[in-house]
Amino acid sequence: MDLLQNLQNIRNSLPEDVTLVAVSKTKPVAMVEALFNGGQIDFGENKVQELLEKQPQLPSQIRWHMIGHLQSNKVKYIAPFVHMIHGVDSLKLLRVINKEGEKNNRIINCLLQLHIASEETKFGLSEQELMDIILAGEWKEMQFVNIRGLMGMATFTDDSEVVGREFRNLKRIFDNVRSDHLKDKADFTVLSMGMSADYKTAIEEGSTMIRVGSLIFGPRKSL
Ligand SMILES: *Cc1c(COP(=O)(O)O)cnc(C)c1O
């Protein structure tokens, strides 16, 4: 398996305005370093512990994306360096991120996670809960949080129609929020959707950021 070739193959298939986050969870730092040397800057991890182990061993230019579910009490550990938090699913979490951002004097990029899949196990806000957060407006006062867009995960299924429908729904919500409530927020531009199995569908449906692991790094050992 050739890591850099995998990376290049995916890059070549992406429209210019789509950002690739290489998801390095369970994979060794040597692989991350090889990809970084090949020009990849954005990397994603889904566990705070693993992120904290890897980050100090790797170049500081790497932009680390926290893509998994994040507990409030762990924000403080990643606030000093994290580039973007994808899984923000409550106002409470947003407040904690703001507080920890302030302590570190850093503005932390956040994506609000929507629950778009039919599985109940996946995290995320309902459309109504998203609207409640946006309309309440408290986020506008948060000087150390920047809401850059939305994130979502489709149902784990081979049925590309189901996946396509879910991504289309997320894109609709994204467009509506933007045009109805965030017209003046020029940097609300990120729609994080699509993984190894469904990133092509996601791009067709308007994704601007894909999170790809196994297609670059090879399969992970199942737990
Ligand atoms: C693991 C993970 C990915 C990448 O999964 P692959 O199928 O390996 O591409 C993307 N997003 C999240 C939130 C993940 O946890």
Distance 46 CA to ligand 1 centre (A): 8
> Is residue 98 assigned to a domain?
yes
Q: How do residues 6-31 score in pLDDT, each as one tens digit?
A: 999 999 999 999 999 999 999 999 99
State in Å, rounded, how far the first CA of the chain is from the last one.
22
> Is residue 120 assigned to a domain?
yes
Total domain count, the chain:
1
Q: What's 25's domain CATH number? A: 3.20.20.10
What is the token pair recorded at 199? 């990133």
d(CA 132, CA 223): 37
Q: Which of 31, 211, 216, 220 to mutate to test the pocket of ligand 1 (most atoms within 8 A of CB)?
A: 211
**Residue 88 near residue 114 (C-beta atoms within 8 A):** no
Ligand 1 atom closest to Cα of residue 25: 1
> Is residue 223 assigned to a domain?
no
d(CA 87, CA 122): 11
Distance 31 CA to ligand 1 centre (A): 17
Q: How do residues 138-158 score in pLDDT, each as one tens digit?
A: 999 999 999 999 999 999 999
- pLDDT of 119 reads 80
Distance 174 CA to ligand 1 centre (A): 21
pLDDT above 70 covers a percentage of the chain that reads: 98
Rg (CA), the chain: 17
> Is residue 222 assigned to a domain?
no
Query: What range defines the domain where residue 75 resides?
Result: 3-217
Residue 114 β-bridge partners: 125, 152
> Is residue 91 assigned to a domain?
yes
> Is residue 44 assigned to a domain?
yes
Ligand 1 atom closest to Cα of residue 46: 15
Q: Residue 125 carries which DSSP code?
A: B
Q: How do residues 92-130 score in pLDDT, each as one tens digit?
A: 999 999 999 999 999 999 999 999 998 877 689 999 999
